[in-house]
Amino acid sequence: MLFSLFAALLLHTALQAQKNAPQVLLRLDDNGMNHAVTMAIQQVAATGIHFSSSVMFACPWYQEAVAMLKKYPNVSVGVHLVLNSEWKYYRWGPVLGQTAVPSIVDSNGYFYPSTKEFLESHYKLEDVENELAAQIERALRSGLKIDYIDYHMGTAVSTPELRGIIEKLAKRYQLGISRYFGENYQTMFDVSVADKKKEFLKRLSALQPDKVNLQVLHVAQATPEMNALVDMNNKDQHSASQPLVAMHRSTELGMVLSPEFQRLVKTGAIKLVTYKDLVAEKGLESMKAPAQ
């Protein structure tokens, strides 16, 4: 009898601890960018943990991402709105084609590599809206349940007028917007390869208990395809001797698959939530643009 009471008390204490655990929203970006990224995200999905993943529907490999995500209901799916194409030798352009939206592409019909180049071009807001709407509509036609939108490299929210377009599209298609639910935003993108895992676990030990803690990660398998990529915007990921892009992304994959992180999830030390959860709990009407 005493043992049963003690067991019940332990269970109650564990459940209370899980209820009060800090909330973490993992957002794995660039899904569908290439095979190496999508297969890495599939590895995370196969663990059964709940997370959100943003698909680049303007990229050549997006169909593989769609087929993969249909197997994993534990993943909340978003549209990674694309106005840039930043990789040397691996480029993409608009869903609508360059002749339909000529003001947002370069002379070869590709998106500009950087936000700066895009903003310095003679882009038309009408072309931006039409292209981003086409990306969302491609996502909706895919058969996936789409919960939210976000913005590759921040370009689609880099001016008040551009931000107004994504807010208009979110309202039109009844979608959430990442960082519009008061999330405490962090990314591991600029943390060195050597320090990534240690810093990630350190951040998870110091989460804000009263907010959703958004952790934006970029994962990929370290394959020859990934090793060949060079980011034209980020000098910290340029090297003639090392495939730094692949090293950064495969390290972030290893962090999420690590026994340390998986243990935090399984023991209830952190509570994973998704954008599907936030939309259901808070409602689209609660959304508010983050402070600039």
Q: What pLDDT, in 10s, does the model give residues 234-284? A: 877 667 678 999 999 999 999 999 999 999 999 999 999 999 999 999 999
Which region, left, alpha or beta, applies to residue 9 given φ > 0 means left and ψ of -120 to 50 means alpha? alpha
Helices 244-257 and 259-266: angle between axes, nearest 10 degrees = 40
DSSP state of 233: S
* Average pLDDT estimate for 186-198: 95
Place of tokens 């480029």: 91
pLDDT at 20 over 90: no
CA 13 to CA 79: how far, in whole Å? 39
Please give the class, per CATH, of domain 21-286: alpha beta
* Average pLDDT estimate for 41-52: 98
Contact 156, 132 (CB under 8 A): yes
Rounded to two decimals, what is the model's pTM?
0.92
Closest to 215 measured CA to CA, from 139, 167, 268, 270: 270
pLDDT at 19 over 70: no
For residue 193, the one-letter residue type is V
Contact 253, 222 (CB under 8 A): no
| Phi, psi (degrees; rounded to nearest 5) at 88 | -65, 125
63-115 pLDDT per residue, tens: 999 999 999 999 999 999 999 999 999 999 999 999 999 999 999 999 999 99
Residues 6+ apart with CB under 8 A from 13: none
Q: Which residues of 27-45 are buried (b: 16+ CB within 10 A; e: fewer)?
A: bbbbbbbbbbbbbbbbebb
Q: What is the pLDDT of residue 18?
A: 57
pLDDT at 227 over 60: yes
CA 128 to CA 103: how far, in whole Å? 9
